[in-house]
Amino acid sequence: MSSSASSAEGYDAAGGDVTEVVIVRHGETSWNASRIIQGHMDAELNDIGRQQAVAVAHRLSKEVKPAAIYSSDLKRAAETAQTIARICNLPNVVFDPALRERHIGDLQGMKFPDAATERPEAYKAFMSHKRNQQIPGGGESLDQLSERCVTCLYNIVEKHKGERVIVVSHGGTIRELYRHASPTRPLHGKIHNTSVSVILVSGTTGRCIVKMCGDISHLQETSVLENAFGGDKTSA
């Protein structure tokens, strides 16, 4: 996904109830680099991922200070969020399993190129365009993923009307949040590690506007992994 901003012109924030949700994908892991399907499996950041986390944290520290930071409880997101919290001088990270990556069932822990031949049923389900298609082995459908992460988004907004918050999550989850915020403008391309997206959410109406999507300008001096598997078939 290219570094680009969607127009938020005409969005009336005069009521003071609009929450600015800054959504950050976690830093790179060795599993990303090896194109291993992570899902709910708990890989840690690698050295590049830690550099990326520091870079995005310094970027965010120069912007308006957030009221809070929320994160998936998986290690790769948690460490990214803790780095951001430390550099932005935030007291703590609120961990929420609802921000986890999609559970990818029998494909978790497999190298993506091997999945089609070794787990054909699960691979077919994963690649399906049917949003109610669950993945064998306890995997979630896209509708199930959307339900949990969008519900979490609105729970956060309810607590932070008129404020700025940071949310650290995963590729597949971020794609679903984008889809909810902008249902008529499909998201094409990849969601890079530590990319920054911004969604404005009205606490009164629930209406969302995408202000920024997939920006990685802070990674100019840190490598970007073009083929990092991000929990969804588009980023594979």
Catalytic residues: 26, 101
> What amino acid is encoded at 67 in this protein?
A
Helix (H) or strand (E) holding 114: helix 112-118
30 is in an annotated binding site: yes
35 is in an annotated binding site: no
Sign of CA dihedral 5, 222, 64, 182: positive
Residue with tokens 């190129």, as numbered in its chain: 113
Lookup: tokens for 178: 């984008």
Lookup: tokens for 197: 């997206």
76 is in an annotated binding site: yes
- Strands, E, within the chain: which ranges? 18-25, 68-71, 93-95, 164-169, 196-202, 208-215
Lookup: tokens for 195: 């990319």
46 is in an annotated binding site: no
147 is in an annotated binding site: no
Contact present, 47 and 229 (Cβ < 8 Å)? no
Helix (H) or strand (E) holding 181: helix 171-181
Cα–Cα distance between 11 and 7 in angstroms, integer? 9
Binding-site residues from annotation: 25-32, 76
Binding-site residues from annotation for substrate: 25-32, 76
